[in-house]
Amino acid sequence: MLDAKLGSLAGLVDVERGVISREIFVSEEIYRQELERVFARAWLLLGHESQIPRPGDFCVTSTGEESVILCRDAAGRIRAYLNSCRHRGMKVCRYDEGNTVEFLCPYHGWSYGTDGALVGVPFARDAYGQQLDRSRWGLIEVPHLENYKGLIWATWDPDAPAFADYIGGYKLYLDLLLDAWDGREGGTEVIGGVHKWLVPCNWKFPAENFSGDRYHGISHRSVDMVGIGPSGTGRRDNQERNESRWLDVSFPDLGHSMIAFLRPHDAALAPAYQDAPEVADYFRRCEEERRRRRGAEWRLFGGPGTVFPNASPLARQPRTIAAWHPRGPHQTEVWRWYLVDADAPTEVKDFLRHYYIRYSGPSGLTEQDDMENWNYAHAASRGTIARQYPYNYEMGLGRATDSFEDHGLKLPGRISVVTGNASENNQRGFYTRWRQFMEAASWKELSPR
Amino acid sequence: MSVESASLARLLLKEEIEQFLYREAELLDARRYEDWLDLFTEDARYWMPMRRNVPAEDPAREFTREGVDVNWFDEGKDTLARRVKQIRTGVHWAEQPPSRICHMISNVQVLGAPSDDSAPDDVPVKSCFLIYRNRVETETALLVGKREDLLRRVDGGWRIARRKIILDQSVLLVKNLTFFF
């Protein structure tokens, strides 16, 4: 079906008309090729540096379906290796995290240093004599790894562009997640513990939902009725959003996107975190400082987004990032990290932690309903008849601009100003890039312009 | 108190607490969530850590920490009440239609039972659970683990002052936790 030629997927993914086949969500063959053409090429999220603070610290993570060890070597450098012994493939680490001087394969006993070098081979002299060149049989290391403001990313493709080029103009939006609330560069950390759970749906359901789906308010109506937000109502503080211009920001040439909000240039501070005066005070002080530091860009706030292909920041309320790990065409393993300002007072971190838990993940009042929808949307799209009928992505077609400006503030990306409820600008951007990855023979055809 | 009457008191207390736990399970399975909430003290804690695969000799890292880390649950009665309220909205799609749930409670151990007949106010109780959840057509899950409760005698009846839930999974194998443990 697929032959990795430009145009070969035109019949399945037609973003110009806003029509996308269900096949790309449910086909075993397309899934198999996604692992090769998307997940073996793209920059993927591995974790956060605060998970491995000391030399010898490690945690096990995932790229596509494959297990990867993320560790800080004895010299303090962050490295990532395929979690598979070079001799017979056994996982050399079956722990989620820890601290070690070596990774010992429990099958035949080959062992590797935290720098990936093959250091131990049982009965080496008798078994191999002088034949075994250990320098060629170390752990398989990712060719490119980047620590971007604490988040660790890697790609398996030696020809992939540098992370800065991969992110491109999206940096402005990703930084809304990773910079401190008062506008300082970086300064965020993750709270201990990574949510990990299985959802029976294709990984693209959550990836495109986070990319820019403002339209699914009905999914969360029950939470809005109950009120779990930081001021006791709704699911988050809304005044700041309601007073803003709603921008769906997409980078179709990169695949990244975010739901963003642009405050009026003369907007006063909006009340937030009213359930806890000390928390409200912290954010008020941060916002004031942010306005001083960031110039006109103080007006920009982030929401959910997706870094192509499967990492989804949520820049604000709750402040999180998720990885949607593919586990076959019909299953996704979600990993979610929760971020706070590293130097925020303990009571602020604790307030946010409680809010994050009651909002997010399988126990979160909000996301529980997302999982139900992704589960049964996927299930009802698998049938022979269902697969003949595409999904509709026409919302807001033709309304986006590549030269957005508001009161002198120019913002990068293809931006759809949302005047009604929503647009599907970002989803179209996501699938534009997805199709490019699936049709390209190599990074030569994919490199950002 | 004679040896016989002390043994009898322990037996009666265990019977009383087992019956309490079974009635509690029945309230959940019968979807009587408001009645279930009434079984918790106002200052109740409800905590379910996540679990990690760690070396056997490093057990301190196995569980996420209460009050510090991200957990599956780490909350009080107020948030539990909001969960109940959400189910009652009629538009909580993850429980619409409602799941069919059965709580099997076993291995009940009453710890710190009295040596005389003065009934204690706070009693630590351990139990195991097997929760069967079936919803819509074929969606089925089994969740197995342990609970460590602190039960408190209030106005002649028992209340749950603290519940720690230890699920025997690391990656959560169900898509959501819309039900109670």
Q: Is A221 an interface residue toward B (CB < 8 Å)?
A: yes
Helices and strands per DSSP (H, E), number in chain B: 3, 6
pLDDT tens-digit series, residues A93-113: 999 999 999 999 999 999 999
Chain B residue at shortest CA distance from A200: B175
| Cβ-based contacts under 8 A for chains A and B | 124
Task: Decide if A97 and B61 are in contact by the 8 Å CB cutoff.
Answer: yes
Average pLDDT, chain A: 96
Closest residue of B to A97, CA-based?
Answer: B54
Cβ of A376 within 8 Å of Cβ of B136? The answer is yes
Q: What does the alpha-carbon distance between residue A340 and residue A345 come to, in Å, rounded to a whole number?
A: 10
Mean pLDDT over each residue of chain B, to the nearest integer: 94
| pLDDT, tens only, A163-185 | 999 999 999 999 999 999 999 99
DSSP letter string, B112-162: S--SSSS--SEEEEEEEEEEEEEETTTEEEEEEEEEEEEEEEETTEEEEEE
Q: B158 — contact with chain A (CB < 8 Å)?
A: no
Mutant choice from A368, A373, A374, A376 vs B, greatest count of B C-beta within 10 A = A368
B83-119: b or e for each residue (b if 16 or more CB lie within 10 Å)? bebbbeeeebbbbbeebebebebeebebeebeeeeee
Chain A residues in contact with B138 by the CB 8 A cut-off are: none
Is the bond into B97 cis (omega within 30 degrees of 0)?
yes
Q: Which two tokens stand for residue B162?
A: 């603290």
Instruction: State the average pLDDT over residues A219-224.
Output: 95
The pLDDT tens digits of the residues spanning B89-112 come to 999 999 999 999 999 999 999 997
pLDDT of residue B169: 98
Arithmetic mean of pLDDT, B114-119: 58
B65 to chain A, any CB pair closer than 8 A? The answer is yes
Give B151 to chain A, closest Cα distance, Å: 24
- pLDDT at residue A323 greater than cutoff 70: yes
- The per-residue pLDDT for B114 is 60
DSSP characters over B78-94: HHHHHHHHHHHTS--GG
pLDDT in tens, B20-65: 999 999 999 999 999 999 999 999 999 999 999 999 998 999 999 9
User: pLDDT at residue A225 above 60?
Assistant: yes
Please give the C-alpha separations between residue B85 and each of A45, A195, A369, A419, B6, in angstroms, as whole numbers.
Answer: 36, 25, 15, 33, 44
Q: In the prediction, which pLDDT does A7 show?
A: 86
Q: Is the CB of residue A354 less than 8 Å away from at least one CB of chain B? A: yes
> What crossing angle do the helices spanning A367-379 and A204-212 adopt, rounded to 10°?
130
Give the pLDDT of residue A26. Answer: 98
Q: Which residue of A has its CA nearest to B69?
A: A192
**CB distance from B137 to chain A under 8 Å?**
no
What tokens appear for B165 in the block? 């839930």
Contact A106, A85 (CB under 8 A): no
Q: Confirm or reject contact between B83 and chain A (CB < 8 A).
A: yes
Residue B118 to residues B6, B104, B121: CA-CA distances in angstroms?
A: 10, 31, 9
pLDDT at residue number B53? 98
Nearest to A362 among B52, B90, B177 (CB): B177
Give the tokens for residue A377: 């949307």
> CB-based contact (8 Å) between A73 and chain B?
no
Q: Is the pLDDT of residue B147 over 90?
A: yes
Smallest CA–CA separation between B72 and chain A, in Å?
A: 6
Contacts of B174 in chain A (CB under 8 A): 197-198, 362
What confidence tier does B2 reach under pLDDT thresholds 50, 70, 90? confident
Q: Predicted ipTM? A: 0.95
What's the Cα-to-Cα distance from A140 to each of A38, A39, A68, A104, B33, rounded to whole Å?
A: 19, 17, 10, 15, 52
DSSP labels, A147-196: EETTEEEEES-TTPPPHHHHHGGGHHHHHHHHS-TTS-SS-EEEPS--EE
